[in-house]
Amino acid sequence: MRMSRYFLPVLRETPAEAQIASHRLMLRSGMIQQASAGIYSWMPLGRRVLGKLETIIHEEQAAAGHIPILMPTLQPAALWQESGRYDDYGQEMLRITDRQGRHLLYGPTNEELVTDIFRGHVKSYRNLPLTLYHIQWKFRDEIRPRFGIMRGREFLMKDGYNFDVDEASAVHAYNRHLVSYLRTYQRMGLKAIPMRADTGPIGGKLSHEFLVLADTGESELFFDSNILELGLGDSDIDYDSREACASVFDRWTQQYARTDETHDPDHFARHVPAVRQRRSRGIEVGQIFYFGTKYSEPMDACVNDASGQRVPVHMGSHGIGVSRLVGAIIEANHDDKGIVWPEPVAPFAVGVINLKPDNEEVSAVCEDLCVRLEAQGLEPLYDDTDDRAGSKFTTMDLIGLPWRLTVGPRSLAAGELELTCRRDGRTFNCAPEEAIGRLTDIYGVK
């Protein structure tokens, strides 16, 4: 993408309203623009990051055998009256009346709608297990939106719902989701820690939240430092294996890890050695629930089991805060110059800076570079503008592409350009071919 033809409205000065790094940097790098309190437009750069996150989520969901659908943002109130949540949910739910006087709501979550879809089509245990999910905009009329998209009222969420014939199957679905979420966050360059959680208005008996460590997080965390050493291993997991999923679940949940909501100070003090006790702040980026028949019973979502009995299905739901993740990733990956994107979620793989756009040789090298990068599936953002060099460097640092190729007459005289790492600043002087080779290695494309 040529910067001269792109829409990248970066701000030189920090808008007064931005209090935390991610909000400040998202506004300055032209990723978002506020439309109203807690409601944002996503500009091209921000939209690209959302797209990267969605792609990773879809791939990991597919690996776990979950099926994508797309439900609407507006839902009929009647379904929520059926589950009993229309009155329970409170002021946080935005209620709407259409011209016919019909009562609608802008969905804060989708248990009722998906249960309605399920019950109309699935009648037998033979069609289970089934997990349906979508990535859709939600609206929760927060009392006080703040911190940019971190606590918006409108936000993009991946929400999934599993349907199983009995509790044991549903617990497997729960464990399977825990594993797939850990893999999803890992692919985004994040270390997310599962922590036992309250179930809140979703209801149910089993729930874990996923938290990313960040000083500006809204939750206070207490955990055993051993959990920071845990990995997922290098091999693929068999998601159909109850034992395999349960063992990952056990490994990740046997260490003490709680938020302030569920923290048990006595237990923490007695069972976690003092040298391993950690206290930190974190950002919640996802949550999983098992709630059994809470919705299937009142909404009559039943299947025939193996013995011919009609039984309510066991369900759980699972959410990833996609738009919030953008903020969380920035909180965990920035410095005083700007954002430092992890490669898998970067809006562009590499920035190409042309130091002399009016020099034909330099420009020819840049154009050729971009064509070849694109042929490798590595999207470049090509700064072909006639700004001064310093200004280009500063902008590129601000928007935080992980790698930068700098092309100017000085190094080109030796047949070289510069490949610079945004995170640590190390620079390689090398020929274009070698730079492309290094980048394809880094991004793991062939």
Partner RNA sequence: CGGGGUGUGGCGCAGUCUGGUAGCGCAACGGCUUUGGGAGCCGUAGGUCGUUGGUUCGAAUCCAAUCGCCCCGACCA
Does 402 participate in binding RNA (rule CB under 7 A)? no
Does 292 participate in binding RNA (rule CB under 7 A)? no
Query: Nearer to RNA by C-beta: 120 or 390?
Result: 390
Query: Nearer to RNA by C-beta: 12 or 99?
Result: 12
Q: Which pair of structure tokens corresponds to residue 158? A: 């991946």
Query: Nearer to RNA by C-beta: 139 or 252?
Result: 139
Q: Residue 51 in 3-state DSSP?
A: helix
State the SS3 of 333-381: CEECCEECCCHHHCCCCEEEEECCCCCHHHHHHHHHHHHHHHHCCCCEE
Q: How far is the CB of 23 from RNA (least distance, A)?
A: 7
Which parts of 206-235 interact with RNA (CB under 7 A)?
Answer: 209, 218-219
Query: Nearer to RNA by C-beta: 12 or 446?
Result: 12
- From the number of C-beta atoms within 10 Å of its C-beta (0-12, 13-18, 19+), residue 189 rates as middle
Does 205 participate in binding RNA (rule CB under 7 A)? no
Q: Residue 170 in 3-state DSSP?
A: helix
The count of residues in the chain is: 446
Query: Nearer to RNA by C-beta: 312 or 319?
Result: 319
Q: How far is the CB of 344 from RNA (least distance, A)?
A: 19
What CA–CA distances, in Å, run from 325 to 80, 141, 245, 328?
Answer: 28, 19, 25, 5
Does 398 participate in binding RNA (rule CB under 7 A)? yes
Selected from 59, 92, 238, 250, the binder of RNA by CB under 7 A is 92
What CA–CA distances, in Å, run from 217 to 152, 211, 335?
Answer: 15, 9, 17
The 19-58 site mask, x for binding RNA (CB under 7 A), equals x--------------x-xxx--------------------
- How big, in percent rounded to 5, are the helix, strand and coil portions of the chain? 40, 30, 35
Does 180 participate in binding RNA (rule CB under 7 A)? no
Buried b (16+ CB within 10 A) or exposed e, 331-361: bbbbeeebbbbbbbbbbbbbbbbbbbeebee
Does 255 participate in binding RNA (rule CB under 7 A)? no
291: alpha, beta or left? (left if phi > 0; alpha if psi -120 to 50): alpha
Compute the Cα dihedral for 168, 171, 173, 175 and give only its sign.
Answer: negative
Selected from 43, 157, 188, 193, the binder of RNA by CB under 7 A is 157
Does 337 participate in binding RNA (rule CB under 7 A)? yes
Q: Residue 120 in 3-state DSSP?
A: helix
Give the pairing type, strands 74-76 and 103-106: antiparallel
Does 391 participate in binding RNA (rule CB under 7 A)? yes
Q: Residue 388 in 3-state DSSP?
A: coil
Fill in the DSSP letter of residue 272.
S
Selected from 136, 186, 376, 411, the binder of RNA by CB under 7 A is 411
Does 279 participate in binding RNA (rule CB under 7 A)? no
Selected from 135, 346, 412, 439, the binder of RNA by CB under 7 A is 412
Q: Site for RNA (CB under 7 A): how many residues?
A: 62
Give the pairing type, strands 302-304 and 310-312: antiparallel
Does 188 participate in binding RNA (rule CB under 7 A)? no
Does 147 participate in binding RNA (rule CB under 7 A)? yes
Instruction: From 44-52, 99-107, 142-150, 172-180, give the range in contact with RNA by CB under 7 A.
Output: 142-150
d(CA 406, CA 386): 14
Selected from 389, 423, 440, 442, the binder of RNA by CB under 7 A is 389
Which parts of 303-332 interact with RNA (CB under 7 A)?
Answer: 319-321, 323-324
Selected from 152, 160, 344, 400, the binder of RNA by CB under 7 A is 152
Query: Nearer to RNA by C-beta: 129 or 286?
Result: 286
Q: How far is the CB of 247 from RNA (least distance, A)?
A: 25
**Contact set with RNA (CB under 7 A):** 10-17, 19, 34, 36-38, 92, 140, 142-147, 149-153, 155, 157, 200-202, 209, 218-219, 284-287, 319-321, 323-324, 337, 355, 388-391, 393-395, 397-398, 406, 408-412, 418, 420
